[in-house]
Structure 1
Amino acid sequence: MTPITSLAGKSVAVFGLGGSGLATAEALVAGGAKVVAWDDNADSVAKAAAAGIPTADLRPIDFAGFEALVLSPGVPLTHPKPHWTVELAQAAGIAIIGDIELFCRERRAIAPGSPFIAITGTNGKSTTTALIAHMFRTDGWDVQLGGNIGTAILSLAPPARDRIHIVECSSFQIDLAPTIDPTVGVLLNLTEDHLDRHDTMERYAAIKARLVRGAGTAVVGVDDEWCSAIASDLDKRGTPVERISVHRPVANGFFADKGRIFEAEDDAIREIADLAGIGALRGVHNAQNAAAAIAAARAIGMSDLSILEGLNSFPGLAHRMEGVTRIGKVLFVNDSKATNADAAEKALASFERIYWIAGGKAKTGGITSLEPYFPRIAKAYLIGAAAEEFAATLAGKVETVMAGTMDVAVAAAAQDAARDGAAEPVVLLSPACASYDQYSNFEKRGDHFRSLVQALEGAKPLVEVK
């Protein structure tokens, strides 16, 4: 835990007592703050009270008596409308912040300059965060890994000069962190997402840009117009920028070409790594992740040898291009984390002969943007609420099976792929949808796919996708 001493003796309202919210309340209490915590969910309030957190309904309390409202990132700050606690805090003129902001304040107070890498982007941030953490662990560092990737940031050990924090940040978390200032800030990419919470793409991009604007060194992917503009703005502000690209060489930074990562410095170019044979880093999207990780590690001072050792031993993440098994020549891949079309595109671009399991709760635009990859799809097996919409998009272009549920889809795809004459047919779960129609989250969806695949005759654990 990181006790928050910067608010010792101050009265603080906390709303939202899920995993990160409860950890935040505990850290504030441990640091000496006078906490009043609440949640719209009675079970969450009861759990917090049982953990010794002071709880009370915040509605009748005068917010002018609070130093700040600490909000969980899942609670609406601005859209579709501000939560009632936000309206009360705004009326009282107090700060509205989150756990990332509390961590940044504590870091400046107790260990200024301690190494801190923060990663964001629409897609790829979890893999990049995990890869950076793995590289530093391999290099012998005391690594604290958390944030949006799983462990709440305030559940991690406190900042220290001999300890590195590597933290994935969502747009919701950054929106509640006005003074975020990592040693290295990584912005991978930006595509339309979460506009129900941010209203416009301009606002979404501005929130993401905050993470790199406050960084000592900014690592920015420049393969989309939004991030390219952000990198140019950082140049004007005088922030050191390392550009990364998988589409073209850069003058200063890191770029990928056919799985090889190059470093460019004043137009001098040298090869840093070759990703060929690293199953967990397969595909162009993972070349971007690897380039960003290399840039971040280099900014902290990691040697080329340690970088290579970390890349070559990276096991990958569950639900992100996760190789589950190979039965005969058929490869089974769990990419349940692909909750939108842009994420699914990365997986479809990585394989040549695909038996595609897709569907769930559709997002804006559906899968129309994936049409260039339809020739790679031998057959699609559609599940969930989006099945009919996806079938209409695929009509006349890809043979489809209205599977409805995961068990039907896996059984049919496995059977069809086994009869395919291609060198390596792939049964790919890459839904291009949220999971909420049939599963509580993408992890549950991916776990179900994995368990079904592992139950197939001839299935054995796959250590590495190659």
Structure 2
Amino acid sequence: MTPVTAFAGQTLALFGLGGSGLATARALVAGGAKVACWDDNQASRDKAAAEGLSVVDLATAGWSGFAAFVLSPGVPLTHPAPHWTVEKAKAANVPVIGDIELFFLERARIAPAAPVVCITGTNGKSTTTALIAHVLQAAGRDVQMGGNIGTAVLALEPPADSRVHVVECSTFQIDLTPSIKPTVGIQMNLTPDHLDRHGTFEAYGAIKERLVAASDIAVIGVDDEPSKQMARRRAASGKPLVKISGEQPLDEGVFAGVTANGGQLDTRIVEVRDGKPKVVANLAGIGSLRGSHNAQNAAAAFAACAALGLTAEQIAAGFKSYPGLKHRMEELGRIGRVVFINDSKATNADSTEKALNSFRAIFWILGGKAKEGGIESLRRYFPNIARAYLIGAASDTFAATFDDDGRVTYERSGTLDVALAAATKAALAQQGSDEIAVLLSPACASYDQFPNFEVRGDAFRTLVKALPGFEPVER
């Protein structure tokens, strides 16, 4: 835990008693503050009260006595309309902040030089966060990882000069962190997302840019135009900038060079300093970093870890031992040349696109509760599909797409176990020498057959491990 001493002796209001909310309340109390906690959910209030936290109805509280208001990032700050607690805070001139703001305030008090890496972007930030933390740990650094991934930031150990915090940040969190000032700030990419919470794409991008604008060293992806504009503004400021790309060579920065090799894609990470390019890592054979989308993730991780003093050799070694995230292009193991991939976290077409672009012979298991647009946007990847296996409620919709296109043969499997058995049998019978993938990448929510994507992915993993001849990947 990081006790927050910045508000010792003062009283704060807090709304939202989920995991991060409870961690924040504990950290404030441990630092000597008083906290008036509230949540619309009775069970959450009861849990907080059982811990000895002060539960106060903020609808009737006297807000003028609060030094600050800590809002859960899941609660609307501005759009589609400010939450009622936000309106009360503004009316009482009480600053509205989040848990990451409290972390940075505490860092400024106890260890202002403590290294902190913050990662944001529309896609890839979780993998990049986990990869950076892993590489640093593999090199012997004391690392704490959290924020929008895994552990709430205030549940981590406190900032220290010898400890690196690696923090994933959503726009919701950045919007509540006016004092954000990372040692290294990373902006991966920017495409329209969460517009219901930010109003416009421009507002969404502006919040992302706050993170890199305030960083000592900014690492910015330049594979999309909005992020490229951010990089230009950062360069014009004269502050340190490292450009990264997963798609194109750069005259300065870190980029990925992708080449075809025997039906697979080899990705080399190239660092360019003073106009001189040097290959610093090779992702070939690293199953947890396969695919062109991971090229940008690895480039960002290299730039961040190099900025913190790691050598290219240390970073490359860390890449090789990276186990990957569960349920996101997770390589489970093999039967001969057939590799089994758990991509259960791909709950929409945009996420599944990354997986379909990573293999050239795919036995694809998909379906569940379909999102708007279905799999129409994935047609360009259909030549990579050897056969598809439909499960769940989306079967009719996806079958119609395949019928209309005419390039994909498919089976209506209904359930995951039936689909896996059929896909495995067909994959093992496939002729040729190239790698073959049995891929669970549903492009759907799980709610028709599973409570969440984690349970779906765990079920797939259990079924795969029971296959005759299966050899799990070593981690």
Give the TM-score, by structure 1 length.
0.94
Deviations 1:152-189 (A, max 9, x none): 11000100111110111122222221221100011111
- Count of residues in correspondence between the two structures: 464
Alignment correspondent of 1:432: 443
Q: 2:471 aligns with which of 451, 460, 463?
A: 460
1:208-227 equivalences under 5 Å are: 208-227=208-227
Deviations 1:35-87 (A, max 9, x none): 01111221111111111211122111132221222111222222333222222
Partners of 1:409 and 1:21 in 2: CA distance = 40
Alignment correspondent of 1:102: 102
1:140-289 equivalences under 5 Å are: 140-258=140-258, 259-289=267-297
Amino acid in structure 2 at the alignment position of 1:140 = G
Amino acid in structure 2 at the alignment position of 1:119 = I
SS at match of 1:381: strand
Partners of 2:10 and 2:415 in 1: CA distance = 52
**Among the aligned pairs, what percent are the same residue?**
61
Query: Structure 2: which 5+ runs fail to align?
Result: 259-266
Runs ≥4 in structure 1, deviation > 6 angstroms? none
Partners of 2:73 and 2:413 in 1: CA distance = 35
CA change 1:441–1:69 in 2 (3 A) is farther
Q: 1:449 aligns with which of 443, 460, 463?
A: 460
Partners of 2:182 and 2:14 in 1: CA distance = 24
1:332-411 equivalences under 5 Å are: 332-395=340-403, 396-411=406-421
Amino acid in structure 2 at the alignment position of 1:21 = G
Alignment correspondent of 1:304: 312
Query: Structure 1: which 5+ runs fail to align?
Result: none
Partners of 1:407 and 1:171 in 2: CA distance = 38
RMSD between aligned residues: 1.9
Amino acid in structure 2 at the alignment position of 1:430 = S
Preserved contact between residue 280 and residue 313 of structure 2 (Cα < 8 Å) = no
Amino acid in structure 2 at the alignment position of 1:56 = V
Amino acid in structure 1 at the alignment position of 2:420 = V
Partners of 2:58 and 2:196 in 1: CA distance = 26
Give the TM-score, by structure 2 length.
0.93
Structure 1 residue 413 corresponds to structure 2 residue 415: no
Partners of 1:225 and 1:244 in 2: CA distance = 13
Preserved contact between residue 334 and residue 446 of structure 1 (Cα < 8 Å) = yes
CA change 1:141–1:269 in 2 (3 A) is same
Partners of 1:50 and 1:197 in 2: CA distance = 32
Preserved contact between residue 195 and residue 204 of structure 2 (Cα < 8 Å) = yes
Amino acid in structure 1 at the alignment position of 2:130 = A
Preserved contact between residue 353 and residue 422 of structure 1 (Cα < 8 Å) = no
Partners of 1:320 and 1:3 in 2: CA distance = 33
Partners of 2:388 and 2:81 in 1: CA distance = 38
